[in-house]
Chain A
Amino acid sequence: MTWESDVVDALVANDVTTVAYLPDSAVSSLVDRIEGEDRLDTVRLSREEEGVGVLAGAWLGHGRGALVCQSSGLATTINALASLSVPARIPLLALVTRRGDLDEFNAAQVPFGYGLADVLDTIGVRNTSLEDPADAGRRVGMATRTAFSTREPYAVLLESTLTGAKDEF
């Protein structure tokens, strides 16, 4: 079993119905696994911010949504998280490939990627880092349960130590 299949199993086991995503090389294996899972509907986005709306709509229709994107994409969602998900108490799970820290080669990924957890903390979105593949399914399942029980967005940051950083060195 790979960490990707453990994560998909955790989503399905916790009644996630819909995954909205923007493709990214660091999560391509996860997205492929999600696309191949009949029990998950997928919505391909043009911009990650849309995903917060799409998954709010899914929840309002009694579904459960997860957003899969890279940290630079999550940067586009901050207004939607802070002015829809958080104040309206509309939950979602975010699985975010975190750029900007260990092994990062691109300075443009650093300010938001490195500061991601602080930004989320500041707007009231709880989050946790995921580094150990052996722990991935369990922690994503726990994140999903707490998001939908407390009716809040929750973000799981997929660190480069888990996903493997882009090798540009």
Chain B
Amino acid sequence: MSSEPDTDGQRADQTRCTAAVLEATPDAAVVSNLGVASYVLAGVEDRERNCYLWGSMGVTTPVGLGLALEVDEQVTVLDGDGSTLLSLGALATVARHDPSNLVVVVFDNGAYATTGGQPSGSELVDFAAVAEDVGMRSFEATSDEAFVEAYAAALDHDGAALVACRVDPVDPESRPPLDFPHVARRFRDAMDGA
């Protein structure tokens, strides 16, 4: 792990990495950030256990935390660099409670891709180092193969873990259902309940 800006240019593919998440953890509850993370997830597979957010930027990882503390099943968050930057403090909250069934994936495309691709400034931010510094375990990936390994290691870790994955920006045409209460109700119904 290094605090040097990553300028080597190697990037993973967000669509293939999202598919790898569903392949490795087919029953996981997946909470996806508004915009690209949700669009990609909906295109890979529109599952009942996908909780797509349509708003509340910066609150995606907290939704995953609350869910992971409530249920025993695997919870995976698909967050973005812009949303994570908006609430870096949330990682400290995750570390404080440290549920072992939570993995936070930060797909870092370096841009506010949903609003036109303006630079997010994330090239100066080492998300894996930030996560480690506040007490989470973290892993990094800049290729699809490395992501598969990093996600597996994050699942194995006995505590909350973050996977920081540099990806190329994508602009998928797929969209989750626009009926937001339906998305939430369908997801909740698919969770078994205590």
Contacts and interface: CB of A to CB of B under 8 A. Distances in A.
Interface of A: 17-18, 20, 41, 43-47, 49-63, 65, 79-80, 82-84, 87-90, 151
Contacts of A60: 29, 51, 63, 66-67, 70, 184, 187-188, 191
A53 B184 contact: no
Q: Which 10 A-B residue pairs are closest in the complex by CB-CB distance? A: A57-B66, A83-B55, A53-B62, A61-B70, A57-B67, A54-B66, A53-B59, A46-B89, A84-B56, A62-B193
A47 B55 contact: no
What does DSSP make chain B's interface, helix, strand, loop or mixed?
Answer: helix
Contacts of B185: 89
A87 B192 CA distance: 24
A87 B62 CA distance: 18
A57 B188 contact: no
Nearest to B65: A54
A166 B113 CA distance: 46
Contacts of B29: 60-61
A84 B55 contact: yes
Nearest to A61: B70
A83 B67 contact: no
B25 interface: no
B1 interface: no
Nearest to A87: B180
Contact of B69 (A51, A56, A57, A79): A57
Contacts of A80: 56, 59
